[in-house]
Structure formats: structure tokens, C-alpha cells
Structure 1
């Protein structure tokens, strides 16, 4: 008998800023929908363990997508995208997620993102509180402007595409299983060279809630912030600062994980995620 998962994959067409994108997503489970945003330069495969976990999918419809230019979501047809620098902006990122949610017909979904997706969780809670019942920020900080100092490294002809995965390895916890850590950086090695650098435009430049985080209304949309102990980019200190500025938000430090909790150590991550999901179930 063949061995199969319950994960299904499809494409959907999304228009953002006047351009149509063919977007790949995978889903599994039933119940409250959760839109899952991957980290900069990677793709939705980072959530494959969550998609395959019956403790999650018995009550939640988990949807992990590839942002345009990532994974199986190819650059758009009909435009000469290769003549322009790829650069992820705040306006595009927010509009994409909102339009994807609408196109899929989701009713008050949960948004969960990591790294640049963790930043976006706070961004969406601030600017689109009526679209989501909750936002879960994994490695979401108030700002990450210090990344600008090393941004020029990530699309340079003298650096190979191995440099990016090697740096990502240093952001993971020593306790995380070697197999999972190497799978995480394997996904990074497959990204198009300009994409990681372009994603960092949002992560390190456009995004900044230093002056606005206090305006997030958790009576409209819950905000749950989880940060990995070994993350040296969106550090626990930075993530906790975001929590301290948002009345009613929750904060959890995830011990023994780093910047990629859902892929580097899914078993450990699950122990932190399930209490948040239980809280959402009880509040629904």
C-alpha cells in the first residue's frame, strides 16, 4: 500500500498592485483557517511538519503558500520582471496576503508568519485588524534595521549561493536536530539569488513599528508573539519589546529553538504553538 499525506497543493491567481500572480499553496485540515507565511528567501515547505500534524489539523485548516518569486510561485507572466530589481515592499506584502485570503474565501483566518512573516503579523494586526481573528508573530520584532549593515552581502557576484544557507545555519539552536537544520538550509539554497536580498527590503528597511505598535488594538485582533532563544536577528529582547508596546498581546520565549522554529525543530515548536491554538479555539 502506498504511503501518502493528507496535504493537497493547488494554484490560485491573485492580483496585487495591478499585476496578476499565479500562486502555489498547500493545505491540510479542517476548521479555523491559518495562513502561514515563510521566511525571507525560502518558501512554504518550511511548514510541512505543521501541515502533517493531526494535533493541529484536527481543528485548523493550515494553508502554507509560496510568496510570488518564491518556491513554485513563479514571477508573473506578461511583464518583463527580469528588467527590474526584485524588492519586497510593505504595501505589496500586505495587499498580497489580504487578497489571497479573500480569493480563498477565508472567514476570519489566523495569520502566522516567521521572520519577515513575523514582522508582517504585527503589520497586519496594526493596519488590517478587521481581516483576522488573530496574528501569530514568530520571530517578530519592533524593527530590524541593523540587518542593513550586512544586506549588500546577499546579492554580490563574489559570494556564492552557499553563503546565505551557511549564515542561516548559525541562527538555529544547537539542540535542533541536524536533519531538520540541514533541510532548512537546503530550502534556502534553492532560492533565486536576488530574492533573499529583495525580501530584506521589507524585513530590514520598510518595516518599523517603533512608533506605531502601541496602536495595535488586541480587542479587535489578538497578537501572540513567540521568539526563539537562539535567534540573533529577531532576538528575544527585540521581540519582547514589541510585546511590551502592545497592550493585551502575549509573549513566549521558545527555549532550545532559533530563527526557524517550525522547520528546525517542529517537535519542540509544537509544544509552544499548541497552547496558542488552544487559546484561539476557546475564544472562537
Structure 2
């Protein structure tokens, strides 16, 4: 892998890139991208790229073969993103000042994206949608005229664990109740595109809500900001309070990531209250996702958290949707994402009980995106295999946030899952 041969072009593309300039912050930093003995360095002054670095605060190191795959036109997961490589590819590491890396992970990510465009050509999403090559963000693949959508929102006053909370929820469509559960540190906006999809809204009453401390929901009055820590019992109690408070009739619960995990717990604890569950990007145990930088005072949470999750999306997902996911994660409250991850990659461990789920009473369908390196397709498939009667499907060209990163692509998979559950319900009734 001869990165140095393209260093001049790489530096020039960085200097001309509008997205990289927008991510810049005051101060100076230098870092290197190392492949074996070869290293290309980058320096930033007051947030602007200024060429090669005279000194580096940290280096991102990987084997030449790993970088060769990363810089290919269509890298295989988990080589499509640095954080995927750090988690799943042996030999990938950050050396030097790790705090400095966490503070500037957004710059590293964009520099690597630019490097891929220089070495392999325009990014996948830009090529496939007719968008612009780097530098500069790709334009939206479609333009919509101004019009109101079909989503209505209001508040539900509920009690969770004997504490009153005001939960914001939204709904759209008519038909059988479907309840959406958002991912860690996010909110119900992740489902807006699906809730405006006529193929879903014409058949289902679609409901989504923000967990306490998320989005537009309040936290319990007795819990100070920053103290939030999600666990299995609290999560189940909150969801059941929403189902009861909104008088949902045997809803099909569709959750993603931590929302997918809790779907499995709901199927075990409350099979007769639900019409079925669709557990997306979920497994019975997901280790390795707690990250100390998510609430470290030296690291800007509104920059680091979206970077930590950005790589979980598939490179083929439309840029405008990827940016929506990134921006949504940048808006999370202090400690909210970290508090959710305490459940997602800590408290949640159902390896000893998923086999007891009765899919005759509560059908289970599991869906996982090909590019998810947090909860991989192999992990989800193995979990589904331990649940008698559960169905599983890997979703090509999708990542960890399918409903938000590429809702058009995901809608077909979701309709398949809902049809499977509806079919089982009709079979039982017959």
C-alpha cells in the first residue's frame, strides 16, 4: 500500500473540502495514517488543513492489507470505517495521545473519507445517486416540494417506577398498531421517513416515542441530569407504560439496536400483550461498545458520539440520511448516550433466557444490516438460532440504523417481517 504516492493529491483534496472545513475547531493538531513503515501526516491550524505535519500527536495504525481494503472502492465490512477496523480488525490501533484522537476523531474520519475518494474514486453513495464526488458534500438524491407530513405528536403523562414522566410520542397511519423503539442516545425522529411511507402508513398505525431524557421527553423529577442509567427492568416498564397509556392493541414492536434487544425481553416477559416483535440489529449479548469518551469532560460529546456511531452505517446509504443520523446524535443530552450503552453493552445479557421465548405466542423476526460491526449479522443469526421458531434475515447494503440511514431500502425488509408476523397471526386465528 503506497499511500505516500498520493499524499500531495490527498492534502490538496483536504484543503479544498467544504465538509472538512465545516468540522474544524480552534487549535492545532497533527496526526498520521500509518501502514507498516509508511506514514502520511496531516496538520490542522485553527481547524483548517495545512498540509503535512511536522509533529504528530497520534497515529492511526493498521496493516497494509487492512488499509488496502479500506481504501478500495467498495470496502468489505468492517473495513469500511476506522471504528469498525479498531473494533474488529486485528493490528488496527491508535498510538500516541488517545485523548487527542477522541477530540479530533471527526477530522480523522473525514480525512480518511477524502483519502478513499482520492485513491479509489468518488464515494459509493455519490456514484450511485449521481451525487458529486469529493470535495464537498453530495447533494440530495431527491428534491421534495414543501408539504406537511402525516405525523402528529403530543405528550403522554405516564408513571415509570413510581416516578412521573412526560413522554413525547408521534403517530401516523391507520391499521394494526406498530410501536417503534429508537436506538441509544437518539429519539423518535429516526422513524420519520418510515412513518411517512404510504406503503406502511396505509396498513399500520405507526407509533414512536422518546425515552425519558431523550429528544422531547422529560426525565423523572427525582433524577438529576447526568444520572440516567438504563437497565432492563426500567426499559421494559417504560415501554409497557406507553403501550398501556396509549391503549395499543397487541402492537407489533419494532426496535433497533438497544430497542431490538429489549424486543426479545418483551417477547419473553409479555408475549400475550404483544402481536410480535421485529428485533433489528440485536443479539442476546453485545460486548465491547462502552466507550469512556462519551462523557469525558475533555472530549466534546456532541462531536465524538456521532462519530462513534457514524461508521455503523453502510457506505451505500444516501449522504443526506447519513447526515441526519449524525446530526441527531450530536443533539443528545449529557450522559444520555452513555447511560443507554450501560444497558446495550452491559446490563443486557440474555444468553441464558432467549431460548425460552415462545414464538407461538409472540412471533420473533430479526433483521441485521450487512455493515453493522457492533452487532454483526453473525451475532444476530446465532441468537435467532437459539430462539425456536424465530426468523432471521441479513439486510445487504444496510448498517446499524436501517430505518434512518436508508429508509427506502429498509421498508421492504420491514414489510416482509410484518407480513410474516401477520401471517402467523392469521394462521393462529384460523
Tell me the residue number matched to 2:417.
276
Tell me the residue number matched to 1:267.
408
For residues 211 and 279 of structure 1, the distance between their equivalents in structure 2, rounded to whole angstroms, comes to 26
For residues 159 and 104 of structure 1, the distance between their equivalents in structure 2, rounded to whole angstroms, comes to 39
For residues 273 and 205 of structure 2, the distance between their equivalents in structure 1, rounded to whole angstroms, comes to 17
Q: Secondary structure at the match of 1:209?
A: coil
- Return closer, same or farther for 1:10/1:192 CA change in 2, 3 Å cut-off: same
Tell me the residue number matched to 1:130.
272
Deviations 1:132-170 (A, max 9, x none): 01011010111012224xx22211011112011012111
Under a length normalisation based on structure 2, what TM-score does the superposition of the two structures give? 0.64
Q: Is the 8 A contact 1:98 1:131 kept in 2?
A: no
Tell me the residue number matched to 2:299.
159
Q: Compute the displacement of 1:279 (Å).
A: 2.5
Deviations 1:83-118 (A, max 9, x none): x62101111100110111011111111111100001
- Aligned: 1:81 with 2:224: yes
Q: Compute the displacement of 1:80 (Å).
A: 4.9
Q: May I ask how many residue pairs the two structures share in their alignment?
A: 280
- Return closer, same or farther for 1:249/1:80 CA change in 2, 3 Å cut-off: closer
For residues 145 and 275 of structure 1, the distance between their equivalents in structure 2, rounded to whole angstroms, comes to 29
Tell me the residue number matched to 2:209.
65
Tell me the residue number matched to 1:54.
198
What does 1:118-267 align with in structure 2 at a 5 Å threshold? 118-148=260-290, 151-161=291-301, 162-267=303-408
After the TM superposition, which segments of 4 or more aligned residues of structure 1 sit over 6 Å from their partners? Answer: none
Which of 91, 98, 101 is the equivalent residue of 2:240?
A: 98
Q: Which runs of 5+ in 1 are unaligned?
A: none
Q: Compute the displacement of 1:174 (Å).
A: 0.7
- Return closer, same or farther for 1:223/1:76 CA change in 2, 3 Å cut-off: same
Which of 179, 189, 193 is the equivalent residue of 1:35?
A: 179
For residues 91 and 16 of structure 1, the distance between their equivalents in structure 2, rounded to whole angstroms, comes to 10
Deviations 1:150-207 (A, max 9, x none): x222110111120110121111101000110010110000001200000011101111
Q: Secondary structure at the match of 1:147?
A: coil
Larger RCO (CA within 8 A; separation ≥ 6): 1
Tell me the residue number matched to 1:9.
153
Q: Is the 8 A contact 1:229 1:254 kept in 2?
A: yes
Larger radius of gyration: 2
For residues 280 and 146 of structure 2, the distance between their equivalents in structure 1, rounded to whole angstroms, comes to 35
Under a length normalisation based on structure 1, what TM-score does the superposition of the two structures give? 0.95
Q: Which runs of 5+ in 2 are unaligned?
A: 1-144
Q: Secondary structure at the match of 1:204?
A: helix
For residues 266 and 172 of structure 1, the distance between their equivalents in structure 2, rounded to whole angstroms, comes to 12
Q: Is the 8 A contact 1:227 1:236 kept in 2?
A: yes
Q: Is the 8 A contact 1:126 1:216 kept in 2?
A: yes
C-alpha root-mean-square deviation of aligned residues, in Å? Answer: 1.4
- Aligned: 1:22 with 2:162: no
Q: Secondary structure at the match of 2:200?
A: helix
For residues 392 and 231 of structure 2, the distance between their equivalents in structure 1, rounded to whole angstroms, comes to 27
For residues 414 and 249 of structure 2, the distance between their equivalents in structure 1, rounded to whole angstroms, comes to 21
For residues 154 and 80 of structure 1, the distance between their equivalents in structure 2, rounded to whole angstroms, comes to 20
Q: Compute the displacement of 1:76 (Å).
A: 2.9
